[in-house]
């Protein structure tokens, strides 16, 4: 089996690592890896390769980094390069570029007689049809879902609309962040992908149900500003959903503060939402429309993440001060 792999972040690198480990014993080869171009990162904004590119190069795999596969000067060369790899299947995991039908049609396909041909397979981080789209992990946490999972699906030209080949669910921890859940799902995705490719003869394609479709829109930085007119339950979920990106924010005066950890508290005071009702070493309690949100880990601009006790040592806060909603809600 000749596999062209397309992916970019660490989530995708776990699947690529699984393929690399399984390839010798299974008789698979990886003639080409597609990933997004190097991006500026870090304080110095130096061009940095994606985790997938770094892993591929470490294993002497050929890497291509087209800017687009739909339009522009890179397209024709990229299509020719994929075709030259003579793939049987294209494996996609969090690639970040839209794949037109012309790309999906290039591989020869697995299993003769499978119609439409099984030419492209996606590792998707939700239990489809719930949370199709760009940010299924964060949206699941934000919505308060108790379970999620991985779906190995046959790709078509739609947005995560193809038939399902294999799926497995996991529980979402009560205090789990998007970063931690992403790591667990990445490992699960790698295992399911290897299992699916190792049992192609037994795979069946199940159409996605028409009921229960939801869309996981890409997270916008403006969403990260905490709106204190929302219930504490909702805000606590947002803090977890936006860790590690874009990180929940609030502000006091002109100072923006990142909120990395927060807990919903059962008590409530009769004050305006956003008002600090208690300042303790364990956390800063803030009134919401319903309930109180205790901020337990914060970060000032240019500073490092600090537990509430350490944060308060260098940034005095007192009850009845108010946190602002941020520009997204003004």
* Separation between Cα atoms, residue 274 and residue 268, nearest integer Å: 12
What pLDDT does 328 receive? 47
* The domain boundary residue, chosen from 216, 235, 270: 216
Q: How many domains does the chain have?
A: 2
* pLDDT tens string 225-276: 999 999 999 999 999 999 999 999 999 988 999 999 999 998 777 899 999 9
What pLDDT does 45 receive? 82
Neighbours of 294 (CB within 10 A): 21
Q: How confident is the model at residue 330 (pLDDT cuts 50, 70, 90)?
A: very low
* pLDDT tens string 198-228: 999 999 999 999 999 999 999 999 999 999 9
Residues 291 and 226 in one domain: yes
Residues 38 and 23 in one domain: yes
* The domain boundary residue, chosen from 193, 216, 239: 216
* pLDDT tens string 105-127: 999 999 888 988 999 999 999 99
Q: Give which of 244, 228, 231 is closest to 299, Cα–Cα.
A: 244
Residues of 80-96 as b/e, b for ≥16 C-beta within 10 angstroms?
ebbeebebbbbbbbbbe
Q: For residue 184, what is the domain's CATH number?
A: 3.40.50.170
What pLDDT does 327 receive? 62
In which residue are the tokens 């794949």 written? Answer: 99
For the segment 60-83, the average pLDDT, to the nearest whole number, is 93
Please, which residues have CB within 8 angstroms of residue 113's CB and are 6 or more apart in sequence? none
Rounded to 10 deg, the angle between the 10-26 and 178-198 helix axes is 20
In which residue are the tokens 């319903």 written? Answer: 290
* The domain boundary residue, chosen from 146, 181, 216: 216
Residues 188 and 278 in one domain: no
* pLDDT tens string 276-324: 999 999 999 999 999 999 999 999 998 999 999 999 998 889 999 999 8
Q: For residue 286, what is the domain's CATH number?
A: 3.10.25.10
What pLDDT does 266 receive? 83
Question: What domain range is 253 assigned to?
Answer: 221-329
What pLDDT does 189 receive? 98
Residues 194 and 236 in one domain: no
**3-class SS of residue 15:** helix
* Separation between Cα atoms, residue 149 and residue 143, nearest integer Å: 15
Residues 171 and 43 in one domain: yes
Cite the DSSP H helix spans in 114-160. 136-142
Residues 174 and 254 in one domain: no
């Amino acid at each position: 089996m000749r596999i062209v792999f397309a992916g970019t972040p660490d989530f995708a690198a776990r699947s690529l690592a699984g393929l690399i480990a399984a390839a010798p014993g299974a008789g698979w080869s990886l003639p080409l890896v597609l990933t997004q171009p190097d991006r500026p990162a870090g304080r110095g904004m130096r061009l940095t390769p994606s985790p997938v590119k770094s892993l591929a190069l470490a294993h002497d795999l050929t890497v291509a980094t087209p800017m687009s596969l739909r339009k522009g000067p890179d397209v024709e060369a990229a299509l020719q390069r994929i075709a030259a790899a003579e793939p049987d299947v294209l494996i996609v995991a969090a690639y970040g570029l839209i794949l037109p039908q012309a790309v999906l049609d290039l591989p020869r396909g697995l299993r003769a007689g499978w119609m439409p041909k099984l030419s492209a397979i996606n590792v998707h981080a939700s239990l489809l049809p719930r949370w199709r789209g760009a940010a299924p992990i964060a949206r699941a946490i934000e919505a308060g879902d108790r379970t999620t999972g991985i779906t190995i699906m046959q790709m078509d030209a739609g947005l995560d609309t193809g038939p399902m080949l294999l799926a497995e669910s996991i529980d979402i921890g009560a205090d789990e962040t998007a970063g931690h859940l992403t790591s667990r799902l990445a490992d699960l995705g790698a295992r399911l992908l290897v299992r699916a490719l190792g049992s192609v003869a037994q795979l069946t394609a199940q159409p996605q149900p028409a009921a229960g479709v939801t869309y996981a829109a890409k997270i916008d930085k403006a969403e990260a500003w905490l709106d204190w007119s929302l219930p504490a339950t909702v805000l606590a979920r947002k803090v977890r959903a936006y860790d590690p990106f874009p990180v929940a924010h609030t502000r006091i005066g002109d100072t923006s503060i990142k909120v990395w950890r927060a807990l919903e508290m059962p008590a409530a005071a009769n004050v305006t939402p956003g008002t600090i009702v208690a300042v303790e070493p364990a956390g800063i309690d803030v009134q919401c429309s319903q309930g109180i949100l205790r901020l337990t880990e914060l970060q000032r601009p240019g500073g490092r993440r600090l537990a509430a006790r350490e944060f308060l040592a260098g940034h005095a806060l007192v009850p009845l001060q108010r946190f602002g909603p941020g520009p997204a809600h003004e």
